[in-house]
Structure 1
Amino acid sequence: MTSLVLPGDSIPLPSSSKSIVLGPGIAASTSRVQSGRSQDAPACIATRLGLLGSAKGKEKSEQYWVEGSSKRYIPAQKDMVLGTIIARHAEGYRVDLGSAQMASLEGLAFEGATKRSKPNLKVGTLVYARVSLANRDMEPEIECFDPNTGKAEGFGELKGGLMVTCSLQLCRKLLNPKFPVLPTLAASIPFEIAVGLNGRVWFKTETVSESIALKRIIEGVDSGHIKAEKEDVEQAVKEYLA
């Protein structure tokens, strides 16, 4: 059940979880709250107005975030993001995520990268990455591999395709398997897709007409002109591919 929270509201964390992942709109607090057990449980506070959301993660972890109407992306650790390389330097790259600060991407933050063998990415290249460090007082750092496996797991350079910009709220919904938009589109159009929590969606199809149809449907759902229901999305696919 979702609940409305205001900036500064205390959000107690369950002590039964093995690990807690704090998402956008929540910051750690130095205070502690009564948990009904022998020890007090740590707490966190909301940093913006919105609905408190939660989801189960891997290995009994729990994720918490505040679903607000913010238009600017604020980097949060473990977020999946789409970034554009805007500069190169000796140790890596500077990447635009659409946030207030540019992100840092090391040349070794790729699968199998070594000092002698590093990817050579050009300015303007689009990458799918994971936020490895997010601090209010430091520029964010991103990486293009899964630290648990050392494999790319889909992260890295995105070649070809088309990127569209949409709301942060829609991107988070698209990552929910129960949200009907992507499963309905996949039933009619074969495509590859990468969804970034920074308000960017990349996809690649076999034809230009299919790419244009996907772009219009995603933008239509985001603006409210197309309802996020299976029947409405199917009708939109027929119209745009006619």
Structure 2
Amino acid sequence: MAFILPGESVPAQHVNLKLGPGLLQSNQSSASGLGIISTRSGSLHHNANGSKWWIENNSRRYVPAPQESVIGVITARSGDGYRVDIGAAHQASLDGLAFEGASKRNKPNLRIGCIVYARVSLAHKDMEPELECFDAQTRKAEGFGELKGGFVGRCSLKMCRELLDPNHFLLPLLGSLFQLEAAVGTNGRVWVNTDAVKRTIAVTRCIEAVDPDGGGMDEKAVKQFIQTLDLAS
């Protein structure tokens, strides 16, 4: 992990290279790589085999990037599609056919205010983002689509990325205590659904407590914090 500034070159090379937030491929390659440059300051990360690269920072506003999962709110209908608020500078578009098994005769009828879990299919600085509610490889919903019931909480973008890590302790810990459904968007939103309102509130309070921009609690501290909450059925 290294700290990088806007405009610096990134030595990213891979046959199936995918660029995440904060990185852009220029028209010209360089001796150090494929002409990948940073568009923001932050810490540079890549996965184990070097096929995915991205920059993490403590940005307050979400900047959409392809393949990222987001939680959005339907704000308007536009022809056969929808306008969706994902917390970015511009609203995103969601085609009515961008759902598993959708056709012109059979497609979801979403209302204004509905919550959707979607994947960013297109993101470009000069175009509005586009969303779809299925996995690009399997064409199956895979959890994407309308989120019914539950509660949408907010946290820092860094916290969302931590919750998306399968090795992070918080959601498995809470799921071992009571029935829990959760969807995490990279846009600073987390949807949670439990069998009791007080447990839903407890989950959001725990997320706030662990958030680096909040309490920054570790696993031991969270377990002690949970004992102070009324989670009995």
Tell me the TM-score normalized by structure 2: 0.94
Correspondence 1:224 to 2:214:
yes
- Asked whether the equivalents of residues 72 and 99 of structure 1 are also in contact (C-alpha less than 8 Å), the reply is yes
Show the 5 A alignment for 1:81-160. 81-160=70-149
CA distance in 1 between partners of 2:180 and 2:35 (Å): 42
Query: What is the RMSD of the two structures over their aligned residues, measured on CA atoms?
Result: 1.5
After superposition, the Cα gap between the structure-2 partners of 1:137 and 1:226, relative to the gap in structure 1 and judged at 3 Å, is closer
Query: How many angstroms does 1:111 deviate by?
Result: 0.4
Correspondence 1:21 to 2:14:
no
Query: How many angstroms does 1:226 deviate by?
Result: 4.7
Query: How many angstroms does 1:48 deviate by?
Result: 1.0
Q: AA paired with 1:217?
A: C
Query: How many angstroms does 1:93 deviate by?
Result: 0.3
Structure 2, unmatched stretches of 5+, are: none
Correspondence 1:50 to 2:42:
yes
Q: AA paired with 2:138?
A: T
CA distance in 2 between partners of 1:174 and 1:43 (Å): 31
Per the alignment, residue 30 of structure 1 pairs with 27
Query: How many angstroms does 1:61 deviate by?
Result: 6.8
Correspondence 1:238 to 2:227:
yes
Query: How many angstroms does 1:178 deviate by?
Result: 2.0
CA distance in 2 between partners of 1:214 and 1:183 (Å): 11
Tell me the TM-score normalized by structure 1: 0.91
Q: AA paired with 1:32?
A: S
Runs of 4+ with deviation above 4 angstroms: none
CA distance in 1 between partners of 2:31 and 2:180 (Å): 49
CA distance in 1 between partners of 2:230 and 2:27 (Å): 55
Per the alignment, residue 8 of structure 1 pairs with 7
Q: AA paired with 2:111?
A: K
Larger strand proportion of the pair: 1
- Asked whether the equivalents of residues 209 and 222 of structure 2 are also in contact (C-alpha less than 8 Å), the reply is no
Query: How many angstroms does 1:239 deviate by?
Result: 1.1
Q: AA paired with 1:21?
A: K
Residue by residue, what CA displacement relative to the aligned partner does 1:41-88 show, whole Å, maximum 9, x if unpaired? 4131111111001124xxx67211111111000110001000000001
Structure 1, unmatched stretches of 5+, are: 36-40
Question: 2:17 is paired with a residue of what secondary structure?
Answer: strand
**How many residues align structurally?**
230
- Asked whether the equivalents of residues 94 and 104 of structure 1 are also in contact (C-alpha less than 8 Å), the reply is yes
CA distance in 1 between partners of 2:170 and 2:110 (Å): 33
CA distance in 2 between partners of 1:224 and 1:91 (Å): 41
